[in-house]
Amino acid sequence: MVEISTSDALASSPFLQALAGQKPSRTPVWFMRQAGRSLPEYLKVREGIGMLESCQNAELITEITLQPVRRYGVDAAIFFSDIVLPLKAVGVDLDIKPGVGPVIANPVRTLADVAAIPDLTPEHVTYITEAVQNLTGELAGINGGTPLIGFAGAPFTVASYLVEGGPSKEYAKTKAMMFGAPDVWDALMRKIAGISGAFLEVQVRAGASAVQLFDSWAGACTPADYERHVLPYSKDVLARVGELGVPRIHFGVNSAMLLPLMGSAGAEVVGVDWRTPLDWAIGQLGDGFGVQGNLDPALVFAPTEVMLEQAGKIIETGRTAKGHVFNLGHGVIPTTDPDQLARLTEFVQSYEPAEG
């Protein structure tokens, strides 16, 4: 077992303290999709460069990851990439289409299709190692040390793109495989668990201080199906990172019914989507977990005082959990006004509790 050590500056980071279940002096904040189309500086550096191309360029990854940290002074950076990037890196023919999402040229249907996908090695993603190293160097000097979050897609969410061939509403082909071809499903989920685990391991070994596993579409499963067909593979991914000694966040959308099961997958902190009342989520998870979330990303379009009133309630509720990281309850909407996120960051970071 290899323990990855955290520098002294980072040890006092409110974000890492909250993940460790220690009570930081204030609630830390970052935003899912904080880098991206809501930022004019992002649109500028991305001009004429495809999404996947940007994700394979260490210099661009570094710049785009730092942009929201510079602008907002958020308490964590999240590595700029995508959940399908590791598939692209091992040779799967796919693209990320603007306004659509990941599109796969030859969807996976058979055991032979699964066997044709290579496992991921660090040599496939040398630009990731380079970008993480650059970033941790730069981030050490920002606001007394800002941690970097590494991330990967969880097996179910990545499998949904591979099997459907693109984004889906019903996940009919994915579920047809899950229920009708359990051997293919098992092989595919193992394959992706290996790839996502390796992708996280590369980021952690290069210096990421925490990881988030995105199972964005797991909420499409019933609890029983999640437990049987999804959870074991997510557990494997999280266990691999656990062995490296970094804290883990596990997030899904529309996941209210799955919270206790998602908690049992191994992460210290569970991300709560915006539909789920935070106090209810804390009750479901019990005392053993920190929580992350969960302001409705659309509230950023409301008058500032309405947004901040709701943010205050979330901070107060978060204080009753083992640890709380303030975030939106899903990603930043591309048309978001960055000035609203700047006000929200300022509000969370300077929030004074109503009572001691």
Residue numbers annotated as active site: 33, 37, 46, 82, 161
Cβ–Cβ under 8 Å, residues 177 and 163: yes
CA distance 139 to 135: 6
23 near ligand CP3, judged by CB under 6 A: no
For 172, phi and psi rounded to 5 degrees? -65, -45
CA distance 97 to 130: 26
Backbone dihedral region for residue 36 (phi beyond 0: left; psi -120 to 50: alpha; all else: beta):
left
User: Does the bond joining 294 to the residue before it have cis omega, within 30 degrees of 0?
Assistant: yes
CB-nearest residue to ligand CP3: 216
Cβ proximity to ligand CP3, 100 vs 306, nearer residue: 100
Nearest-approach distance from CB 282 to ligand CP3, in angstroms: 22
Residue 330 is assigned to a ligand binding site: yes
Nearest-approach distance from CB 159 to ligand CP3, in angstroms: 12
Residue 35 is assigned to a ligand binding site: yes
Q: What is the DSSP string of 175-192?
A: HHHHHH-HHHHHHHHHHH
Cβ–Cβ under 8 Å, residues 127 and 88: no
- Residues 253 to 282 in contact with ligand CP3, rule: CB under 6 A: 253
Nearest Cα to Cα of residue 52 among 98, 1, 20: 98
Cβ proximity to ligand CP3, 174 vs 322, nearer residue: 174
Residue 8 is assigned to a ligand binding site: no
Residue 183 is assigned to a ligand binding site: no
Nearest-approach distance from CB 240 to ligand CP3, in angstroms: 19
Q: Which residues, in sequence order, are CB contacts of 188 under 8 Å at separation 6+?
A: 108, 114, 159, 162, 163, 177
Residue 36 is assigned to a ligand binding site: yes
CA distance 273 to 297: 10
Nearest-approach distance from CB 11 to ligand CP3, in angstroms: 24
- How distant, in Å, are the alpha carbons of 41, 75, 79 from that of 71? 10, 12, 16
Cβ proximity to ligand CP3, 32 vs 325, nearer residue: 32
Residue 160 is assigned to a ligand binding site: no
102 near ligand CP3, judged by CB under 6 A: yes
Cβ–Cβ under 8 Å, residues 323 and 21: yes
Instruction: Out of 99, 224, 350, 352, name the contact with ligand CP3 by CB under 6 A.
Output: 99
Cβ proximity to ligand CP3, 72 vs 185, nearer residue: 72
- 48-71 burial: b if 16+ Cβ within 10 Å, else e: eeebbebbbbbebbbbbbbbbbeb
- Residues 204 to 233 in contact with ligand CP3, rule: CB under 6 A: 214, 216
What residue has token string 């930081």? 24
CA distance 331 to 325: 15
Q: How far apart are the first and last CA of the chain?
A: 41
331 near ligand CP3, judged by CB under 6 A: yes
Question: One symbol per residue from 284 to 303: x for binding ligand CP3 (CB under 6 A), - otherwise; what is it?
Answer: --------------------
- Residues 168 to 207 in contact with ligand CP3, rule: CB under 6 A: none
Cβ proximity to ligand CP3, 151 vs 185, nearer residue: 151
Give the range of 28-36, 170-178, 267-275, 298-306 binding ligand CP3 by CB under 6 A.
28-36
Residue 82 is assigned to a ligand binding site: yes
- Residues 38 to 97 in contact with ligand CP3, rule: CB under 6 A: 51, 78, 80, 82-83, 96
Known binding-site residues equal 33-37, 82, 161, 216, 330
Which residues are near ligand CP3 by CB under 6 A? 32-37, 51, 78, 80, 82-83, 96, 98-102, 151, 157, 214, 216, 253, 331
Binding site residue list for substrate? 33-37, 82, 161, 216, 330
